[in-house]
A and B are shown apart, each in its own frame.
Chain A
């Protein structure tokens, strides 16, 4: 029997789950983000210690030097849970798909000046390996970080990095088929310009403090790399030289960086405002990593622009990063 139940007005017993009521009261119906994120991770009475590291707890906030009274303070301003995340990316993917089609159907790659293509090949395609490292690093943060609102966006960020690596691979296939990817890998492994970055990423993959990895990868390295490579070199230099087609194919990266930096900044701001100790740790990490990665990226920028200009672009990116850090309450 199918009954018509739409017309009945019945009174609700509970507005929300108890753990959400405790956090947010029950005046408002909680959002799906809140339901999907808060207090999902087990907190107490964990059964066994990890056999891989018996000194740790199964979920262990002490894996990081950063201390939070409540890790659920680190909310994602984008309020991404699986569904909103996936729907957003699917929409962006549709745009990217039509961008790829446009570039293909208008033969934009073939019509591009050789120097532009050379920069795309030398600078962009090897970056797919850097995105793989970022994928691994964010996967670590998701796996070992504490509290769902902090760890959840990291698995999305990890998959985004894989997606970016795959967009770069498609670009490579368009400009030089499989040989493009092979040459880029060769560069990544051997050419002088890429070795400092590869070495730094191998070093970062050995770090096990999840917040340290988060800061150095998502704030420092990406905070230098995306403004430098995508905002300046691709969207300005290459576009001026007739490389709009490249810029269309890296649109995802540009938008993704602008979107995700709001999240990264908000996490840092919340951590820094928690305590003077946190602030000191964050400043130490950011200060050393920012200087280090700035020098690492200099030869990378040199693949696209002449020495002086490379210096200039890299130091602009560095200043921009420190501005972000200041806005988040650091170095004051």
Chain B
């Protein structure tokens, strides 16, 4: 070898190859199967790991440099937000429900992704995807942490934030998000990547982060908007990883196509069910709206999703199986979820409310074919009950779907007046589902979904045995954190502090 040779200038691709790909070696003392024991069992065939394409070629020096710059900007904003009582800049305190739900449900999902990506970053047998997944793992812990830090300041002044850790594991509605991430983590490495990297990040994350965070900014919450957009800049890398991963699997072997298709069908549906919570956040919980869930879906779901699946058609991949059912549900789900949350508001660590007159006008305009016809009458009934000094509550326990864990409150795709309910018998037990999509997911892998922890069942068993007060203590639910927004301490305090500010 010729030492002191003048180095050629390497281009980015070549440099990245040398700095990552070239680090690994083919083991000769141990069998690859001992080092990567989980890479085969899902049936995905990989003939050549080196065919993996790295979309963004970040070496660690560049990673540290640019991420540090993002971090400096981010913490400058949340420090200022904390020092200047930035929480009083939000449009009104109803908005806080959206970010409580976010902290309780989505941030733990970020954390789960962090751990899941560390696992697949170790289990894949090729250095390209290993490094890409490791980078995503470290990004995901960033997201969980920046979210906790942003919420920490809200926690100082409002109810419903402080018990997020316990509620993540115990309260009923957080089980929706956690079962989604637990499902992905308990799957094999390739399915995990399709679940989180492709279906969630590529197809759905734009719906969560882009219009909602733009909405946060519009509602004066710069802390949330900043973590949202700052996280989303990492997501651009993650989405690209998800897309590269799916192309890689499809190109490696034709036998992979039906397996990948099955996962796309499953995870698209799982993701869409999870996002019904975001639909309610967008349509009901942002006091000032940027766009409706329907509008967001049209841009980031339909337009973007169609483009993607047209692109993947060359591999023989079809759009997800229950796409049409999702499309039919878009004008309904936010209303159904919000009505559900409102009637079970005694059991949620956030407040809900009936829409105001101007909310109703907006909802009518955005949902001309459904809101007035199907949902306004139910809201009017709830409003009338309040006006007569009553309260619209449903003290019956919701029946939860065995798969998505949402209450079975959705309607038939073709008949919005009929509640949708499906059942499957498996090994002598009856299991309940909210939809054909969830029933289908169950029937592909019943031995997995029978294990699901169901919070309502747990409430009826030892040691709680149906005692509501004992349950509230077990899930750390204080009465001040739950119930109607209009009567809440959060509202009273927010208005008092705001008044103090404007008279000073």
Residues of chain A at the chain B interface (Cβ within 8 Å): 2-8, 10, 12-19, 21, 32, 35-36, 39-53, 58-59, 81-83, 86-87, 89-91, 93-94, 96-97, 109-110, 114, 117-118, 121, 128-129, 131-132, 135-136, 139-140, 142-144, 148, 151-152, 155-156, 158-160, 162-163, 165-166, 169, 173-183, 185, 188-189, 198-199, 202-203, 205-206
Contacts and interface: CB of A to CB of B under 8 A. Distances in A.
Most buried by B among A90, A114, A158, A182: A90
Contacts of A174: 7
Contact of A128 (B5, B23, B135, B502): B23
Contacts, number: 288
Interface in B132-183: 134-135, 137-138, 141-142, 144-146, 148-149, 152, 155-159, 161-166, 168-170, 175, 178-179, 182-183
Contacts of B166: 18-19
Most buried by B among A6, A12, A160, A188: A6
Given A162-B134, A180-B1, A45 B115 contact: no
B29 A58 contact: no
A48 B183 contact: yes
A8 B497 contact: yes
Nearest to A104: B7
A33 B14 CA distance: 38
Contacts of A52: 38, 41, 186, 188-189
Given A12-B157, A87-B72, A176-B5, A185 B186 contact: no
A162 B131 contact: yes
Contacts of B186: 47-52, 58
5 contacts: A14-B161, A32-B149, A87-B68, A166-B19, A205-B35
A178 B142 CA distance: 35
Given A46-B453, A121-B1, A188 B89 contact: no
Given A86-B64, A142-B118, A180-B1, A47 B182 contact: yes
A18 B167 CA distance: 11
Contact of B30 (A86, A136, A163, A203): A203
A99 B35 CA distance: 37
Given A5-B89, A166-B59, A177 B8 contact: yes
A61 B419 CA distance: 43
Interface residues of B, number: 106
B65 interface: yes
Most buried by A among B64, B72, B138: B64
Contacts of A51: 186-188, 448
Contacts of B256: none
B88 A49 contact: no
Contacts of A159: 60, 63, 134-135, 138
Nearest to A169: B19
B112 interface: yes
Given A132-B24, A140-B122, A159-B60, A205 B30 contact: yes
Given A47-B182, A90-B64, A177-B7, A81 B157 contact: no
A121 B4 CA distance: 11
Contact of B183 (A4, A47, A179): A47
Nearest to A156: B138
A35 B453 contact: no
Contacts of B163: 17-19
Contacts of B85: 5-6, 8, 10
A210 B35 CA distance: 14
Nearest to B65: A90
Given A87-B72, A206-B30, A117 B3 contact: yes
A206 B34 contact: yes
B499 to A, nearest CB: 10
A50 B115 CA distance: 14
Most buried by B among A21, A39, A121: A39
Nearest to B448: A48
A58 B65 CA distance: 34
B5 A202 contact: no
Given A51-B186, A96-B61, A140-B122, A109 B4 contact: yes
B476 A18 contact: yes
B148 A93 contact: no
Top-6 shortest CB links A-B: A90-B68, A163-B60, A143-B118, A143-B119, A132-B23, A36-B145
Nearest to A173: B7
Contact of B5 (A46, A58, A177, A181): A177
A144 B37 CA distance: 14
Contact of B179 (A14, A47, A177, A183): A47
Given A81-B145, A205-B30, A41 B115 contact: yes
B460 to A, nearest CB: 15
B458 A45 contact: yes
Contacts of A118: 3
B396 interface: no
Nearest to A200: B29
B61 A178 contact: no
B493 to A, nearest CB: 8
Nearest to B84: A6
Interface string B90-116: 000000000000000000100110110
Nearest to B103: A17
B161 A189 contact: no
A203 to B, nearest CB: 7
Contacts of B152: 17, 35
B451 A82 contact: no
Contacts of B448: 48, 51
Nearest to A52: B38
B29 A132 contact: no
B451 A5 contact: no
A170 to B, nearest CB: 8
Contacts of A121: 1, 3
A166 B119 contact: no
Given A86-B67, A198-B29, A206-B35, A151 B115 contact: yes
B248 interface: no
A105 B4 CA distance: 15
